[in-house]
Structure 1
Amino acid sequence: MIPTAFDYEAPDTVEEAVRLLSSGADDVKIVAGGQSLIPVLKLRLAGPELLVDLGRIPDLRGVREDGDALVIGAMTPHHEVASNALVREHAALLAEATATVADPQVRHRGTFGGALAHADPAGDLPAPAWALDASFEIVGPNGARTVAADDFFLDYFTTAIGEDEVLTSVRVPKHTGWGAAYEKFVRVAQQWSIVAVAATVQVEGGTIADARIGLTNMGSTAVRARATEDALRGVALDEAAVAAAVAGVAEGTSPPDDLNGSADYRRHLAGVLTRRAVLKAAGA
């Protein structure tokens, strides 16, 4: 199908983008890579009056170090994140997860910030970003503000970004030396996750010193499995011990129940994939 008619603007600065978002148009949409929005427009599930394209703002793209963290521009394409040397060294979990997003075409057009702002609970980036304690730099008419991952993902396709605000970058604390794994279960290749688990693990002396766990498609948002993280600390690198520590990872989750799998099946998968991800991340 063909989208409904809309006005189009491609600002050169974040400030101009914010001004356009605050222009008073009835419905304004931001387009980043367009991999989620364009299909919705073509199906006429959305009909914005104005489309604001962030693709011409150079400050929104790239990866840089900032002390004990990496700063990833919101318009950085997935393939650049997955292949970036800094990301691979200091936030390997992001590189692992981003490399599984859809297919090469989507990874070259889709953007890191766009996928996070879209906040699809079946998407591959919210869980690892949350597991790594990412924070989100948002700019609006009242200036810039930073939102922690705990407060960023609110509900299905809903984040803390206001209608007149722009996500400009994502700050990710360095996890240098931590092992990482993203275990993703799909029915066919390049599909949305039925369930996926993001795990990054710090190993000392044959035991798990620390761990971070995020779950994909186990609720209305990604899920941070903090109780399982606590249970893993001090556990020996033994398959049975790890399996026991992660046995309750699905407790308190609300996975969907659909044709791809029942809620109980997804809870079972979460346990299996968490065990695999932790052992792989730990090098066991």
Structure 2
Amino acid sequence: MKPVVLILEPVDERAYALLPSDRFAVVRPGTAPADYAAVRAIVTRGKEVVDRGLIDRCPGLRVIVRNGVGVNNIDVEHATERGIQVLNVPGLNAATVAEHTVGLMLLLVRDMHRLITEVKGGNWDYRLQYSGRELRGLQLGVVGRGDIGKRVAEIAGAMGMRTVYSSRVAGDPARGYRSLPDLLAESEVVSLHIPLTPETRGCMDAAALGRMRTGSYLINTARGELVDGPALLAALESGHLAGYASDLMVAGDAATTDRLLARPDVLITPHAASLTELTFFELSERGLQHVADVLGGKIAADRYRVNRVADPA
């Protein structure tokens, strides 16, 4: 009997070649397997939840693959208890998310989105009142020094920004390390690149936002839940922050998020930073290769292993 691979969200069509029909029974997004007991692999991106209930419906499940990095939509703890390998795809989206991050900086800090909107409305004379800032010469504080954070710092440095960073492990101040409070207090632009964990959820609260420089900007292409929505709205309304740009909506009630979206100093994109054609294919390819490898008896490289379970004999 061929192993069933349950794919919860779309992948690039070209990647399906890694799971040939003579070896695998693939259940595509939007459909359910005829027999959950036959499911050996689940593939998700970041929206569909792989919780305890789904995991327990698949008693023969061997691997869960996240076509991306963050695994907040997967019950990793329960998967580990069940001896199920959880794999992700780190690194492949670093370039595209970094580009998106710097693009949001340009749109926000230089007020480029307003220029575009005014011209589309026929107001070419808006140039006479335009006074956007340059990124050149500003200090960028990168919160998190993973693949994406490092890439953002590289691009920002090439554009003439001074960069510092904070991370879970203290570094050398002479090489740009700052504690998070110091980074927030020093930087004119702060960019978030940390995972969502119980410790980081809501870390950008009223106290943290209050430490930021007056007139500074906050960029978030990590997780929306890192930022406290009401606190962000208050910081913008008071003028303490000059703007916020993100690839995700912050955590908060509908009234708060509606007010944020209505503000000209808030720019939100729909969690699309890694959905460029090239990166979408690369993530899909690596994710389905994980499935083929694990179900074929291969042991995944450490860099892809989210949890630790016994390797197959």
TM-score between both structures, scaled by the size of structure 2 = 0.21
| Greater gyration radius | 2
Considering fraction of residues, name the structure with more helix. 2
Whose strand proportion is higher, 1 or 2?
1
Per the normalisation by structure 1, the TM-score is 0.22
